[in-house]
């Protein structure tokens, strides 16, 4: 016999487990971002102290200009590395959350499919049209989500490649300009 209460309890348990996974993943990524920011702050302080002592030792304008170019290049490299680190954390978080969402959606659709199947077995006579329409709606929704998921993956992949290429290009341009200034 069909027991809707048990199935609802099972779906609730799955939703609870998924909520815990999302919370854990959020905390993990926030911790990584916090660590990146702390490391960056320490590095920025160290670079500032090194730069200040180097400026204090400058004796002529020529060495000041060379030092300025060197400090500028170091600053741009630092900013590029920091941006890359933030992007990597965000990109990993996006991939992890997407995988978790896909897993949750798959579990949900399997649960709904099982529920529909059990419900249709106990459906009153003459409800074939409604049952077929409901099954069709579930199948169409699943197919639409799959298409949306594939399109999202393509957009994310394109954006990732674009951001990486832009970062590499910025580093090359900065390095070339620093060499010209020196």
pLDDT, tens digit, for every residue of 111-148? 777 777 777 777 777 777 877 887 788 788 878 877 87
CB 82 within 8 A of CB 44: no
Q: Ranked by mean pLDDT, which of 30-34, 112-116, 168-172 comes out on top?
A: 30-34
The model's pTM:
0.67
| pLDDT higher than 60, residue 52 | yes
Q: What integer best gives the mean pLDDT of the chain?
A: 82
CA distance 67 to 56: 11
Residue 59 gets which letter from DSSP?
A: -
CA distance 23 to 12: 16
């Amino acid at each position: 016999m069909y027991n809707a209460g048990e199935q609802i309890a099972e779906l609730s348990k799955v939703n609870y487990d998924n909520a815990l996974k999302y919370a854990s993943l959020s905390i993990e990524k926030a911790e990584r971002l916090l660590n990146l920011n702390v490391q960056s702050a320490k590095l920025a302080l160290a670079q500032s102290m090194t730069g200040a002592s180097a400026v204090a030792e400058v004796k002529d304008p020529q060495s000041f200009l060379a030092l300025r170019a060197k400090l500028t290049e170091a600053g741009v490299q630092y900013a590029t590395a920091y941006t890359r680190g933030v992007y990597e954390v965000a990109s990993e978080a996006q991939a992890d959350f997407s995988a978790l969402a896909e897993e949750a959606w798959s579990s949900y659709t399997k649960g709904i499919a099982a529920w529909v199947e059990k419900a249709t077995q106990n459906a009153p006579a003459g409800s074939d049209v409604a049952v077929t329409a409901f099954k069709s709606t579930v199948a169409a929704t699943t197919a639409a989500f799959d298409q949306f998921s594939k399109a999202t993956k393509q957009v994310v992949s394109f954006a990732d490649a674009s951001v990486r290429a832009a970062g590499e290009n910025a580093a090359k341009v900065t390095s070339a300009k620093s060499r010209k200034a020196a």
